[in-house]
Structure 1
Amino acid sequence: MTNNLQKKERTAVSSNPILAVENLSKSYGDLRILKDVSVAIEAGDFLVLVGPSGCGKSTLLGCIGGLTEVTSGNIQIDGQDVTHTDPAKRDIAMVFQSYALFPNMSVGDNIGFGLEVRKVPKAERDKKISQVAELLKIEPLLDRAPAQLSGGQRQRVAMGRALVRDPKLFLFDEPLSNLDAKLRVTMRTEIKRLHQRLNASIIYVTHDQIEAMTLATKIVVMKDGVIQQVGTPREIYDTPANIFVADFMGSPAMNILVADVTMDGLMARIEIAREDGQEPLILYDPNPGEGIASRPAGALKIGLRPEALTDLGSRSVNAEQQFDCLLDVVEPAGSDTFAVIRLGGTEVTARMHGDVDVNSGDTVPICFDLSKISYFDPKSGERL
Structure 2
Amino acid sequence: MSPILEINNLFKSYGSTEILKDINVSIEEGDFLVLVGPSGCGKSTLLNCIAGLEPISGGALSIGGRDMTTVSPKDRDIAMVFQSYALYPTMTVAKNITFGMKVRGVDAATQAEKLAYVAQQLQIEPLLKRKPGQLSGGQRQRVAMGRALVRDPKLFLFDEPLSNLDAKLRVEMRTELKALHQRLGASMVYVTHDQIEAMTLATKIVVMKGGVIQQIGTPSEIYNRPANLFVADFMGSPAMNLIPAKTRSSDAGTHIEIARENDAPIVLSDSKNRDLPQDVILGVRPEDIADAAKLAGGEAQGAECLIDIVEPAGADTFAVMQLGGKHVTARLHSETTAAAGLPQKLTFDLGKASYFSPDTGLRLN
TM-score (norm 1): 0.93
CA distance in 1: counterparts of 2:98 and 2:195, whole angstroms: 33
SS of 1:269 mapped into structure 2: strand
Which letter maps to 1:352? L
CA distance in 1: counterparts of 2:300 and 2:54, whole angstroms: 57
User: Which residue matches 1:8?
Assistant: none
User: Which residue matches 2:192?
Assistant: 206
Task: Find the partner of 1:286 among 271, 288, 303.
Answer: 271
Task: Find the partner of 1:374 among 354, 357, 362.
Answer: 354
Once the two structures are TM-superposed, the CA of residue 114 in structure 1 deviates from its matched residue by 1.0
CA distance in 2: counterparts of 1:263 and 1:86, whole angstroms: 59
User: Which residue matches 1:57?
Assistant: 43
User: Which residue matches 1:274?
Assistant: 260
User: Which residue matches 2:62?
Assistant: 76
CA distance in 1: counterparts of 2:323 and 2:7, whole angstroms: 43
Q: Which has the higher strand share?
A: 2
User: Which residue matches 2:78?
Assistant: 92
Work out whether 1:360 is the aligned partner of 2:340: yes
User: Which residue matches 2:26?
Assistant: 40
User: Which residue matches 1:176?
Assistant: 162
For each residue in 1:324-355, what CA deviation from the matched residue of structure 2 results, as whole angstroms up to 9, or x when unmatched?
A: 11111111111110011100111110010012
CA distance in 1: counterparts of 2:13 and 2:42, whole angstroms: 11
CA pair 70-360 structure 1, distance change in 2 beyond 3 A? same
User: Which residue matches 2:110?
Assistant: 124
Once the two structures are TM-superposed, the CA of residue 262 in structure 1 deviates from its matched residue by 2.0
User: Which residue matches 1:145?
Assistant: 131
Kept in 1, the 8 Å contact 2:248–2:256? The answer is yes
Kept in 2, the 8 Å contact 1:219–1:233? The answer is yes
What are the ranges of 5 or more consecutive residues in structure 2 without an aligned counterpart? none
Once the two structures are TM-superposed, the CA of residue 28 in structure 1 deviates from its matched residue by 0.8
CA distance in 2: counterparts of 1:361 and 1:162, whole angstroms: 55
SS of 1:368 mapped into structure 2: strand
Once the two structures are TM-superposed, the CA of residue 301 in structure 1 deviates from its matched residue by 1.0
Once the two structures are TM-superposed, the CA of residue 317 in structure 1 deviates from its matched residue by 5.1
Once the two structures are TM-superposed, the CA of residue 162 in structure 1 deviates from its matched residue by 0.3
Which letter maps to 2:114? K
CA pair 320-43 structure 1, distance change in 2 beyond 3 A? closer
CA distance in 1: counterparts of 2:298 and 2:81, whole angstroms: 47
SS of 2:9 mapped into structure 1: strand
User: Which residue matches 1:304?
Assistant: 284
CA pair 43-195 structure 1, distance change in 2 beyond 3 A? same
Once the two structures are TM-superposed, the CA of residue 315 in structure 1 deviates from its matched residue by 4.3
CA pair 111-239 structure 1, distance change in 2 beyond 3 A? same
SS of 2:260 mapped into structure 1: coil
Work out whether 1:261 is the aligned partner of 2:230: no
User: Which residue matches 1:104?
Assistant: 90
SS of 2:350 mapped into structure 1: coil
CA pair 327-73 structure 1, distance change in 2 beyond 3 A? same
- Name the % identity: 61
Once the two structures are TM-superposed, the CA of residue 316 in structure 1 deviates from its matched residue by 4.3
CA distance in 1: counterparts of 2:245 and 2:109, whole angstroms: 69
Work out whether 1:221 is the aligned partner of 2:210: no
Kept in 1, the 8 Å contact 2:82–2:161? The answer is yes
Task: Find the partner of 1:241 among 196, 218, 227.
Answer: 227
CA distance in 2: counterparts of 1:134 and 1:307, whole angstroms: 40
Kept in 2, the 8 Å contact 1:261–1:300? The answer is yes
CA distance in 1: counterparts of 2:297 and 2:15, whole angstroms: 54
CA pair 239-319 structure 1, distance change in 2 beyond 3 A? closer
CA pair 108-375 structure 1, distance change in 2 beyond 3 A? same
SS of 1:327 mapped into structure 2: strand
CA distance in 2: counterparts of 1:321 and 1:54, whole angstroms: 41
Kept in 2, the 8 Å contact 1:317–1:368? The answer is no
Once the two structures are TM-superposed, the CA of residue 320 in structure 1 deviates from its matched residue by 6.5
Task: Find the partner of 2:100 among 83, 107, 114.
Answer: 114
Show the 5 A alignment for 1:292-331. 293-295=274-276, 297-316=277-296, 321-331=301-311
Once the two structures are TM-superposed, the CA of residue 314 in structure 1 deviates from its matched residue by 3.3
CA distance in 2: counterparts of 1:102 and 1:319, whole angstroms: 58
TM-score (norm 2): 0.98
SS of 1:371 mapped into structure 2: helix
User: What is the aligned residue count?
Assistant: 364
SS of 1:280 mapped into structure 2: strand
Work out whether 1:25 is the aligned partner of 2:6: no
SS of 2:264 mapped into structure 1: coil
